[in-house]
Amino acid sequence: MKHLVVTADDFGLSLEVNDAVEQAHRNGILTAASLMVSAPAAADAIARAHRLPSLRVGLHLVMVEAWPTLPPAELPDLVDRDGLFRRDMGRLGLDLALKPAARRQLAAEIAAQFEAYASTGLPLDHVNAHKHFHVHPLIAGRVLAIGRGFGMRAIRVPREPRAVLRAAEPGCNPKAATDIAPWAAMLAVRARQAGLLIPDRTLGLAWSGAMNPARVAGLLRHLPDGLTELYTHPATAGGFPGEAPGYAYAAERDALISLEAMAATKAAGAVKGGFSDFL
């Protein structure tokens, strides 16, 4: 049996993102979205989600390169001079290991984001994190512990089999996510021990920001058995605060509404839904 969750990350980042999420869910293959609770267009995203009860929404935890939920003054080890989360992920990860104060601030911020999500009144379909920072062992531990109190039942584990990518795009030499692979494997073990649902594989890592229509349709034509999450970053256009340089946002939106992708999904016999539909 093939189970498929098609997710849009960064829901709430901008109106362009929110527009694309709604279009791709109403008219395409998108089944889920991950909400940034403190991003500039979060309120608009929440309103749209309430109007789209079939869209499964989860929490996109933010701990790097974006807006915190707590006041920046309460997060001195985690934010930069502009009050945004730091960009230096490597150094930030080291500071979390070395500074108890940084770990306390992290736990408080994670709890604040879960609380902000709970206040939306939306069911919590899943949890993941911006830049996959939840694979960091110290962050993972706090997400697993805090999320339990907020009803977390599913979490993304970013592991992508290159064989599927090569089948989808013959001749390609996809970059392996070797930098996070050991931590993703550890997260998978800890998540299973916590009784959480995790995907058997997550598609979208190597081609993040470049999940164009041909690639998405190709991945769907070679969809393996089991639970697959295919994640994307759709928007109707770029040019908004917080956008990732070089991302082909409109092409990723187009991939989700293409006739080719819809036909490939149907031909694969995949059952679509959110994580909560496969619990």
CATH of the domain at 15: 3.20.20.370
Report yes or no: 26 and 51 within 8 Å, Cβ to Cβ.
no
Predicted structure pTM score: 0.97
Report yes or no: 143 and 61 within 8 Å, Cβ to Cβ.
yes
Reference 171, options 215, 201, 127; nearest CA is 215
Between CA 167 and CA 118, with CA 55 as vertex, the angle to 5 degrees is 120
Token pair recorded at residue 93: 């990860």
Report yes or no: 229 and 5 within 8 Å, Cβ to Cβ.
yes
Report yes or no: 235 and 15 within 8 Å, Cβ to Cβ.
no
Sign of CA dihedral 120, 124, 126, 129: positive
Rounded distance between C-alpha atoms, residue 234 and residue 16, angstroms: 8
Token pair recorded at residue 229: 């999450």
Three-state secondary structure call for residue 64: coil
In DSSP terms, 85 is beta-bridged to: 79
Q: Which parts of the chain sit beneath pLDDT 70?
A: 176-178
pLDDT for position 178:
67
Rounded distance between C-alpha atoms, residue 279 and residue 262, angstroms: 24
Please give the tally of structural domains in the chain: 1
> Within 13 A of 40's CA, how many CA atoms are on the CB side?
11
Range of the domain at 227: 2-278
Token pair recorded at residue 79: 């934010």
Reference 234, options 263, 218, 257, 264; nearest CA is 257
**One-letter amino acid of 42:** A
Three-state secondary structure call for residue 274: coil
C-alpha distances in angstroms, 223 versus 91, 228, 273?
A: 37, 8, 15
Report yes or no: 97 and 17 within 8 Å, Cβ to Cβ.
no
Three-state secondary structure call for residue 141: helix
pLDDT for position 126:
98
